[in-house]
Chain A
Amino acid sequence: MYKRTRFYDFTYYNFVGSWAWILHRLSGLALIFYLSLHIWVIHSLTHGEKTFNAVMTFLSSPLFKLLEVGLWGVILFHAFNGVRIVIVDFFKGSLAHKQLFVALISAAFVLWALGSFMLLRHAF
């Protein structure tokens, strides 16, 4: 008898692909939530230099800088796993999708370290 697969059925999570799939969805949802906030907050930067500087001072506290480092990580995961999805869907990536995952996430990790350095270099 056919059994319906559910995202919370953890017997499927022995596989790289299942983790990549659920993490891609969760990071995507987090990112669109962030994007909504971002568009909203950036709008408050358009009321002249005084407000701009007040908002930017608030947003460049060490707490927000650390959150930014986390955001950069979530973005890189979503972007590089996204590249894997495109390679799997349009090329013969499905033959090596696990190796692709390891290679691309390693590349993302290097960029995460580099970007985090750039973000934090003026922060403390």
Chain B
Amino acid sequence: MEKNFKQTSRTGSLAWLLQRLSAVVLFVLLLFHFLTYHFLTRTRAVEYRQVLERAQSWWFPLLQFAFLITALYHGLNGIWSVLEDYTTNKHWRLAWYCLLLTVGVVLLFVGTLTIIKLYTLKVG
């Protein structure tokens, strides 16, 4: 048992566990996301003022950042586990892994930029 636990990075069981833990976190955060941005809106679309007011509280950006990281990890790790099932060539596996990592870094950058910009924009 202990011996097996030390090999989690090789066997992928840590990725398996993290995929389920992030799933539980996302289940809650995504419901909250839909409630705030899509269900409890006063008009047809979300209003600029309403979005900025929320985005400029102290807790909302932190929650959004946690949401961004968890969603990206869960999604990209999900693609990785699908690719692992159908790619046996180790060079291809490395190429896919690098591609996913790059996509992850770019999206994390863009998403974080959005959170920061919404936090610093002046309400007109």
- Which A residues lie at the B interface, using CB under 8 A? 25, 28-29, 31-32, 35-36, 39-40, 42-43, 45-46, 48-49, 52-53, 56-57, 59-60, 68, 72, 75, 79, 82-83, 85-86, 89-90, 115, 118-119, 122-123
Q: Tell me whether B101 is interfacial, beta carbon within 8 Å.
A: no
Knowing A52-B48, A53-B48, A82-B27, say if A32 contacts B118 (CB, 8 Å).
no
- Which B residues lie at the A interface, using CB under 8 A? 20, 23-24, 26-27, 30, 34, 38-41, 43-46, 48, 51, 68, 71-72, 75-76, 78-79, 82, 103, 107, 110-111, 113-114, 117-118, 121, 124
Give 18 pairs: A residue, B residue, CB < 8 Å, sorted on A. Answer: A28-B78, A28-B79, A28-B82, A29-B79, A32-B75, A40-B107, A43-B110, A45-B51, A46-B121, A57-B45, A59-B45, A72-B34, A72-B38, A79-B27, A90-B20, A118-B40, A122-B41, A122-B43
Report Cα–Cα, A45/B46, bound state, in Å. 11
Cβ-neighbour of B103 out of A29, A36, A52, A79 (below 8 A): A36
Knowing A43-B113, A43-B114, say if A83 contacts B43 (CB, 8 Å).
no
Select from chain A the residue with minimum beta-carbon distance to B117: A46
Q: Which residues of A contact B113 (CB under 8 A)?
A: 43, 46
Interface centre among B30, B48, B113 (most CB of A within 10 A): B48
Are B78 and A82 neighbours in the complex by a CB distance under 8 Å? no
Q: Which residues of B contact A45 (CB under 8 A)?
A: 51, 114, 118
Q: Which residues of B contact A49 (CB under 8 A)?
A: 48, 124
Are A115 and B75 neighbours in the complex by a CB distance under 8 Å? no
Q: Which residues of A contact B34 (CB under 8 A)?
A: 72, 75, 115
Min CB gap A70→B, angstroms: 13
Are B79 and A40 neighbours in the complex by a CB distance under 8 Å? no
Min CB gap B110→A, angstroms: 5
Select from chain B the residue with minimum beta-carbon distance to A55: B45
Cβ-neighbour of A115 out of B39, B45, B46 (below 8 A): B39
Knowing A53-B48, A60-B45, say if A68 contacts B38 (CB, 8 Å).
yes
Are B48 and A82 neighbours in the complex by a CB distance under 8 Å? no
Are A85 and B20 neighbours in the complex by a CB distance under 8 Å? yes
Select from chain A the residue with minimum beta-carbon distance to B123: A49
